[in-house]
Amino acid sequence: MREGDEALLMNTDDIRGFFASREQLDMADYLTLEYYVECVGDIETALAHFCSEQSTAQWRRVGHDEDFRPRFGAKVIGLQIEGELEQLSYPVQHSETGPIHACRVTIAHPHRNFGPKLPNLLTAVCGEGVFFTPGIPVVKLLDITFPEPYLNAFDGPKFGIEGIRDLLKAYDRPIFFGVVKPNIGLSPAHFAEIAMESWLGGLDIAKDDEMLADVEWSTLAERSRELGLARIRAEKETGEPKVYLANITDEVGSLKEQHDVAVRNGANALLINALPVGLSAVRMLAAYTKVPLIGHFPFIAAFSRMEKYGIHSRVMTKLQRLAGLDSIIMPGFGSRMMTPEEEVKENIAECLQDFGHIRRSLPVPGGSDSALTLETVYRKVGSVDFGFVPGRGIFGHPMGPKAGAASIRQAWDAIEKGVSLERYAEGHPELGAMVAGARRSH
Among 276, 349, 375, 422, binds its own copies (CB under 8 A): 276
Contact code string over 119-138 relative to its own copies, x by CB under 8 A: xx-xxx-xxxx-xx-x--x-
Taking CB under 8 A as the rule, does residue 65 contact its own copies? no
Sign of CA dihedral 388, 389, 395, 401: positive
Taking CB under 8 A as the rule, does residue 335 contact its own copies? yes
Smallest gap from residue 221 Cβ to its own copies (A): 14
What distance in Å separates the CA atoms of residue 411 and residue 167, rounded to the nearest whole number?
A: 23
Among 38, 204, 226, 250, binds its own copies (CB under 8 A): 250
One-character DSSP codes across 182-229: S-SS--HHHHHHHHHHHHHHT-SEEE--TT--SBTTB-HHHHHHHHHH
Please, which residue, 234 or 344, has the CB nearer to its own copies? 344
Q: What are the beta bridge partners of residue 38?
A: 102, 138
Please, which residue, 177 or 424, has the CB nearer to its own copies? 177
Comparing CA positions, the residue from 298, 286, 276, 296 lying closest to residue 256 is 286
From 11-19, 111-119, 260-268, 415-423, span contacting its own copies (CB under 8 A): 111-119
Please, which residue, 157 or 367, has the CB nearer to its own copies? 367
337-356 binders of its own copies (CB under 8 A): 337-340
Please, which residue, 64 or 169, has the CB nearer to its own copies? 64
Taking CB under 8 A as the rule, does residue 33 contact its own copies? no
Q: CA angle 169-170-174, nearest 5°?
A: 160
Comparing CA positions, the residue from 422, 314, 440, 322 lying closest to residue 371 is 422
Comparing CA positions, the residue from 138, 148, 205, 143 lying closest to residue 30 is 148
Taking CB under 8 A as the rule, does residue 28 contact its own copies? no
- Size of interface with its own copies, in residues (CB under 8 A): 124
Taking CB under 8 A as the rule, does residue 93 contact its own copies? yes
What distance in Å separates the CA atoms of residue 322 and residue 51, rounded to the nearest whole number?
A: 25
Count Cβ atoms below 10 Å from residue 98 Cβ, excluding itself: 13
Taking CB under 8 A as the rule, does residue 303 contact its own copies? yes
Distances 130 to 44, 138, 181, 394 between C-alpha atoms, Å: 15, 10, 41, 44
Taking CB under 8 A as the rule, does residue 290 contact its own copies? no
What distance in Å separates the CA atoms of residue 360 and residue 427, rounded to the nearest whole number?
A: 38
310-329 binders of its own copies (CB under 8 A): 310-311
CB burial string 212-237: b at 16+ within 10 A, e below? bbbeeebebebbbbbbbebbeebeee
CB burial string 10-21: b at 16+ within 10 A, e below? beeeebebbbbe
What distance in Å separates the CA atoms of residue 389 and residue 256, rounded to the nearest whole number?
A: 26
Smallest gap from residue 124 Cβ to its own copies (A): 6
Among 75, 181, 225, 409, binds its own copies (CB under 8 A): 181
Smallest gap from residue 348 Cβ to its own copies (A): 17
Taking CB under 8 A as the rule, does residue 217 contact its own copies? yes
Among 43, 77, 213, 245, binds its own copies (CB under 8 A): 213
From 259-267, 348-356, 377-385, 430-438, span contacting its own copies (CB under 8 A): 430-438
Among 12, 23, 26, 61, binds its own copies (CB under 8 A): 61
Taking CB under 8 A as the rule, does residue 221 contact its own copies? no
Q: Collapsing DSSP states into helix, strand and coil, what is residue 353?
A: coil
356-395 binders of its own copies (CB under 8 A): 366-370, 372-373, 389-393, 395
